[in-house]
Amino acid sequence: MVKYYTGLPSYTVLEGLLTLITDHVNDGTRCLEPGDCLLLTLMRLRLGCQLTDLAHRFGIAVSSAAFVFEKWLYYLYRYLKNRFIIWPDRETQFKTMPNSFKAAFGKSVAVIIDCFELFCERPSALLDTRAMTWFSTNIITLSST
What's the pLDDT tens digit per position in 84-122? 767 788 888 888 888 888 888 888 877 777 656 666 666
**R_g (Cα) of the chain, nearest Å:** 20
What's the pLDDT tens digit per position in 26-73? 766 678 888 899 999 999 999 989 999 999 999 999 999 999 999 999
* CB-CB contact of 53 with 65 (8 Å): no
* CB-CB contact of 32 with 40 (8 Å): yes
Cα torsion 107, 110, 111, 112: sign: negative
Closest among 77, 109, 71 to 93, alpha carbons compared: 109
- Within 8 A by CB and 6+ apart from 85, the residues are none
- For the question of whether the overall pTM of this predicted structure is more than 0.95, the answer is no
